[in-house]
Chain A
Amino acid sequence: MKNIKLIISAVFLTLFSISCNEEDFLNEEPFDFYSPENSFTTPEQIDLAIVRLYKDSQSVFVGGVVNTFALFYTTDVGYDAIDPTHQLNSWADKITPETPEVKWYWVNLYKMVANANVVLSRIDGVAYASEAERNVKIAETKFFRALAYRTLGIMYGGVPLALEELSAPKRDYVRASQADVFAQVISDLEDGATNLPEADAVEQDGRVSKGAANHLLAEMYIITQEYDKAIAAATAVIDNPNYALMTERFGSRVSEPGDVYWDLFRRNNVNRGTENKEAIWVAQYEHLAPGGGDPDNFARFLAPLYWQLKDDDGVNIFFSHSSQNGGRGIGWWAASDYMLNQVWEGSNNDMRNSDFNIIRDVLVDNPESKFFGQLMVASGSIDNFPDPYKRWWSALFAKSLPIGNFPADVIADPATGETNNGASSTFNDRYMMRLAETYLLRAEAYILKGDQASAATDINAVRSRANADPVLAAEVDIDYLLDERARELFTEEFRLLTLMRMNKIVERVRLHNPMHNGTYESFNINETQNLWPIPNTEIERNTEATLEQNPGY
């Protein structure tokens, strides 16, 4: 007995005293995530990191709902239609270092920069079949870094330039000059203009090409007042046989009544893969697919709250929100009178103002209304409906609404076209750059250079496609150009950035924004507000150096 006891004890005590190899035992092995060390080592992985940049750019400019609309409704073309004190309606009161949108753009653009820097810092260690292949990927990455810094530079001025992957925390950022920021952008874009493939040679439809880099370069050279370079960059796009303004009906819905401008914005007509030669760079959306992209919620936010309108008997004018009327809008923001009416004054046959593209009246479709079957506005059915800020009705901008073409899953009743709450998006790819804008950029450069004739030619290239009367050279100036941009690019161009880079935001908001020009309110926009403030949280966190705030904030 005693022996057994001793043996068992000895066995246990031996176990007890044997310690396993501590280092092995405590070694930590990741199983379900990647590390930078094993993630950016092959060309395929590098490309996935670049794919992420496409998503980042989509998040900043297209997704993000309320935040992205700040690029539109804070300007001359739009306003928040809910009420004067809502969201960012008053520049002086609402654009401050505490404003969530102010932080949102800063944070997300810098995240895009950081993601680009990881690729640029790692790509040299990756084996590529050729230097040319590597250079394409470098150029593609730099395009996105440039896009981020161009936007940061326009919005915030001279921002800190971070150009390397970070391996340790950093809290001592200082601002570069705005000129340095733009110089960096141009340097990155020039790389792109050299090394990116042509539009017909990109790996997948939706990837950026030389054209995209040149288009953005043209804008940058205008900012840096290098107009000849701007003209050259724009010309490189305009003269490129891959691109052309679409002048004939095309795409999936040619058989329906419409016009070519209408065709340009139909679902599945936007990508270059669908015979569209006007697209330069398109943000990708694929309905319901994993990674399909953030929905572009114009159909919810810009479309009016029409389906709640009542006639003077108090009877609903519409039986419901419906696909044929553009889905379930809530009229969160609306086009200003400038956008809705003034820019079209004197235009006769401008296709962009056609009944297909800007729908200013619709048929009353609730059989219980005495106006059933009549045009809502023309019949006077809503004359007595209180709509102080045109939230319930102004117009439907068909280019940002899949009118009559919502996906089946947001249709509540196929027989009537009634939609459910999901009918809130364009469900469409979205132009980030379109050739019409390249013409207008070149026109801008010509104007600034003093060559009004060439500017008029370019503007007329855009106008003639839209059947609009040509403009005379003498009539062309920056304000005319801005009007033309509004006509051609409403809901496409990021109007806030356009006006800020032209130093026009203060003037134009005071003139045309109904919350500032006295139409609804006379809110203030300060002279210094051509730049947004730096978020206070960033100043606070940057403990080891001072980030100077922009003047006036």
Chain B
Amino acid sequence: MKKHLKNGLLYRQFPKIGLKMKLTTFLLIVSLFQVQANSYSQNTKLSVDLENESIENVFYAIEEISEFRFLYESGQIDLDRKISIKVNKKKISDILPIIFRGADVDYKIRGRQIILTKKGLGISIPKADTPNGFSNKNTAVQQQLSGTVTDTEGIPLPGASILEKGTTNGTQTDFDGNFSLGVSDENTVLEISYIGFIKKEVALDGQTELTVVLQEDTAKLEEVIVIGYGTATKSDLTGSVSRADLATATETSNVSIVQALQGSIAGLNVGAVTNAGQNPSLSVRGQSTLSSDGGDNAPLIVLDGIIYRGSLIDINPDDIASIDILKDVSSAAIYGSQASNGVIVVTSKTGSAISGKPTFSYSTSYTVQTPSNRFEPMNAAEYEQFYPDIFWDRGGRLAPDFLQVGPSYVWQNNFKTNEIAEGFAAGLDTPWNELLTGDGSVQTHNLSVSGKSDAASYFISGGFTDQEAYIKNDTYKRYNFRVNLDAKITDWLNIGTQTFFTVSDYSGQSANYDPTPRDGGAGQHAYYYLQPWAPIRDGEGELIPNPEGSWLNPFLALEVQDSDVRLNLSSVLYANINLPIDGLSYRANYANNYRTRDWANFDSSAASFQGAAFKEHSSTWDWTFDNILTYRKTIAENHNINATLVYGVEKRAFNSTLATARNFAVDILGYNSLEAGDPTLNGAFSGKEEESSLYQMGRLLYNYKNKYFFTGTVRRDGFSGFGINDKTAIFPSAAVGWIITQEPFADSSSWLNYLKLRASYGQSGRRGLGRYDTQSQVTAEPSVVFGDGGPTFLGLETISLANPALGWETTTGTNYAIDFGLFNSRVSGTMEYYSNKTENILFAIALPEITGFEEINSNIAQVSNYGIEATLSSTIVDKGPWRWDASFNFSKVRNKVESILGADNDNDGVEDDLIGNGLFIGEPQNVLYDYEITGMWQLADEANGSIWEGFLPGTYKLNDLNGDGMISSLADRKILGYSDPSYRFGISNTISYKNLSMSVFVNSIQGGKEYYWGDDAPHSTGNWNKADQLSYSNIPKGGWDYWMPENPNARYRRLDNAGQFEAKPYSQRSFVRLQDVSLAYTFSNELTQKFGLSNLKLFLSGKNVATWTDWNGSDPETGVGFRPDNPLLRSYTMGLNVKF
């Protein structure tokens, strides 16, 4: 019976109970292994040789040699009938007719179960809770009870075992998770268990109907983790790999799947998003390279085994089964040169329906979004109060003390247009911001069907997402389709695919007008800055193009025709072959990802209202071919081997074509008739790029007695984008683990039930450079038209310096970790420490521009990086219907520039800093190197002549570090603080009562004393920086604390002028955010079954509900300072999931 033990089911007890106890009632068991069982009955061949044995003994003998189990109701089958049987290698379906030849018995093979009934009664599979359900003769039945066992998602758990504590009285749940059991005492305690879930004890306390929700085992030691080019169980891991908890991911308004992970995994940093259809920034374990640019620190994304270069937002969150994050260098090293920022492994769902029948699933949600931090512009009355302050020094106030208003000064003369002047005179109060922004919304619908049979498994889905963001016309629509198939062609060959197709529609020009969309203009937020006195339309009802003299009227933006549709077709085709050597298999992955963007735009107000249009088509085609050999074998019982060899190639190609036209004679066809533009002004542009990579990788996972673990990998990588001298490199890594609690000396009953130590060492790389970055590039662009009406001449110019020596950036790292489980894994956790060193960093070093170049890409410097991460999970309460789970994660990273160019030109014995790039030896990378503000110059200083050159009254006094009586950027700047966070933490709590559960997630990023500083000064915004711009820009309600003659101790300098030194009063971004709150209700099974549903859940959730911070700007996490950028949105979502 040993072989059943590993299934962990009560099943193993069945033969004893079923036969020895001679059950009098029909006992039905539904096996969790139904699917395998079906093929089991097909494939298993038995030899039976019995002479004149009772039927009962025949059953017993077959059960001994096989996994078949006979089920019958006592009394219906004559067990004492004697037969003789002799078969050799026959299927059970051939054996049964022999056994029951002539007997009054009907039989049915159901997986491994053989169900017997008296002939004529028919074979029916009654529900376990029907009157002829369970009862156990040996138990004095006092109380009949029934119930359901589900997971936290409300999905029934068939085959879960229910045992009356301290007895052998028990049963299992049926298909639908239902059970029925007679117990001896109405106050007895039941033990409910299910593989992969935490065992639960339930005190009956007189209840006769139970709903038992089992929690997944948070330690999840047997969980299969995707580790790249293969899988391993969690207990086998030696590196640092975190699995994301996606349980509540679809309950919040996350258009991108990774958004749901924000703050929840130690070491994974996900940024906030503010635009429709925007990808959040991602990084793993902070910044190891020198550039703080998001793209340079973005982890590698692997989707279904293939490196994915597309947009993450194209992946439907509803299609995702798991996300694993390879954090430490040794785990990531299998991706070699692209791994030093960590790897995020995304796996899509497969058909793994437990019941064998198709599962349809539909989910929908509706979200309302509103800015988390109101930042509204002034209305006309407020603005009129503020406006004259801008001109205090231009006659608005009377010298010398500037406290009296200048009687002859007409501040209205600063209006830029006559329209403004007229609007002011007429008392106009146009609520531009209100008209052009509003609450956003997200609507999602997802429908999928999945299932699995002997021959195939499938997951097919379709989804629709419709987002409208805060700024009018900032919209995003996404249509997702996916087909994941796996077909078992023969017992040694599986062929399958993971294919998806996504249509993303970003069409529409948002009210945040972007006059040069193709140049990546970020929009000007004119809807915010426009003065309330500015009219929208003239007397004839026409839109006024420049009501303020500066920006185009944002209502014109709404008239721009814009079509921006992006398609993403991604298909992984694979074949899995079990090779003739036992344990050896070969897998070929051939993946194509074809992405296109068709962007067309016609702006009738551009080109002095003669119209400008473009049409652009660009496509990216990536293909990958991976060959993977895997060998899994247990040798001599104790040596477990999992070895992988990979050989792969990747090619990526990019193509683009752009046509432009302007000055349209007739513009009614817009961008669809570019030829209607002035032919002499047409433009045509095209581009093509290619890059290729190839790689070989070997990996060995070995463990001895599941106690001592070793992982070793070597990867060799080649990339076309590198200098001709250095196209390939090798990245090795090794790691070990030891589960101490597996040792004989460990006390299994101790409070410490699990303890594992891990250590790893490895090297990984970063490409850091785009293709062609090593080459010197020469551009040719239209430059001169000689003479009047002559032809255009191109001009050639070298725009970058070549560096053929450019190679890989290498990160070498160690990782030490402890995994533990306490009190029967009621508390579990992981603590990690890592230390990385990155060398030969790819970096664009600033050059003296005497060279003609601003910078050159180089391999320079050495940066060290270390951090700690802790994750703690616990089930705090698990009593009756109540349950409270909590988890906490914490991470902290520090980095230090160890070396830069290795030069000591000033001969001071210390390597020189590279100030031009903001790099300082011994300091973290992202420093705020600036002037220190010590006070404010006052009018008196000017009057008595003590004010310094370059300064004005009301500008900041700066610290003269070298004491030479003047301020210079060379000598008087210093490190004021660091812009990276000091530490981050997240706390999540889930409390459930019966079918109702509530989750609360708090996210925080903290700066300590010196870290996480940023610039949130109002004057950092160009439009609020000086008088000219302020004279035509609205400002936030309440204004800010700016210097005026009557406000000499203000926090911020005078409005109109910075003087020659634009110093910034930095502030800290630390915050605590109530990031997610959700409430879910799962309807009881009785109710759902009435409607033919297997599961129905309703949820309500809130995101970015509240934030506590001292940051003066729009949002600390997005880093948006005191300016009208797209706000972080607070959202409330309501939705439902239904399965049938």
Contact = CB atoms under 8 A, between A and B. Distances in A.
B934 interface: no
Contact of A55 (B776, B795, B1061): B795
18 contacts: A16-B627, A26-B694, A30-B772, A39-B796, A51-B796, A52-B783, A92-B949, A284-B785, A284-B786, A286-B789, A286-B790, A288-B663, A289-B782, A289-B785, A293-B784, A429-B788, A537-B969, A543-B916
Contact of A206 (B545, B787, B951): B787
Nearest to A2: B580
A338 to B, nearest CB: 23
A28 B850 contact: no
B842 to A, nearest CB: 15
Nearest to A291: B782
A131 interface: no
A106 B410 contact: no
Nearest to B1026: A86
Interface stretch (A165-173, A343-351, A511-519): A165-173
B783 A29 contact: no
B381 interface: no
Contacts of A386: 395, 408-410, 413
B690 A48 contact: no
A316 B502 CA distance: 57
Contact of B720 (A28, A171, A542): A28
A31 B691 contact: no
A93 B949 contact: yes
A36 B848 contact: no
A171 B847 contact: yes
A55 B418 contact: no
Nearest to A537: B916
Given A54-B783, A206-B787, A421 B903 contact: no
A392 B793 CA distance: 40
Interface in B647-676: 647, 649, 662-663
A83 B394 CA distance: 7
Contacts of A86: 1026-1028, 1057
Contacts of A539: 970
Contacts of A308: 413, 415, 417-418, 421
Interface stretch (A110-118, A185-193, A452-460): A110-118
A159 B393 CA distance: 39
B208 interface: no
B949 A33 contact: no
B422 to A, nearest CB: 9
Interface stretch (B317-325, B517-525, B681-689, B736-744): B681-689
A13 B586 contact: yes
Given A33-B777, A388-B395, A536 B851 contact: no
A208 to B, nearest CB: 11
A12 B577 contact: yes
Contacts of A178: none
Contacts of A48: 780, 793-796
B775 A35 contact: yes
Interface residues of A, number: 109
Given A35-B777, A35-B778, A205-B790, A26 B784 contact: no
Contact of A35 (B688, B776, B792): B776
Interface string A22-62: 11011111111111100110000100110111110010000
Contacts of B629: 16
Interface string B902-920: 0101000000101110000
A467 interface: no
Interface stretch (A235-243, A267-275, A355-363): A267-275
Contacts of A545: 905
Interface of A: 1-2, 5-6, 8-9, 12-13, 15-16, 19-20, 22-23, 25-36, 39-40, 45, 48-49, 51-55, 58, 82-83, 85-86, 92-94, 96-99, 106-107, 110-111, 113-115, 117-118, 159-160, 162, 166-171, 173, 204-207, 268, 271, 273-274, 284, 286, 288-293, 307-308, 316, 320, 385-386, 388, 392, 409-410, 420-422, 429, 524, 536-545, 547
A5 to B, nearest CB: 6
A25 B784 contact: no
A107 B663 contact: no
Given A9-B577, A33-B779, A206-B787, 14 more contacts: A27-B720, A31-B689, A55-B795, A97-B968, A110-B851, A160-B850, A169-B845, A170-B847, A171-B848, A291-B792, A420-B609, A539-B970, A541-B848, A543-B916
B788 A274 contact: yes
A329 to B, nearest CB: 12
A289 B793 CA distance: 11
Contacts of A110: 849-852
Interface of B: 393-395, 408-410, 413, 415, 417-418, 421, 490, 492-493, 545-546, 549, 577, 579-580, 586, 588, 607-610, 627, 629, 647, 649, 662-663, 678, 680-681, 683, 686-694, 696, 718-721, 727-728, 771-772, 774-790, 792-798, 801-802, 845-853, 856, 858, 901, 903, 905, 912, 914-916, 949-952, 968-970, 1026-1028, 1056-1057, 1059-1061
Contacts of A543: 901, 903, 905, 912, 914, 916
A289 B1060 CA distance: 39
Contacts of B409: 386
A5 B576 CA distance: 12
A6 B579 CA distance: 8
Nearest to B653: A31
Given A28-B772, A543-B912, A52 B796 contact: yes
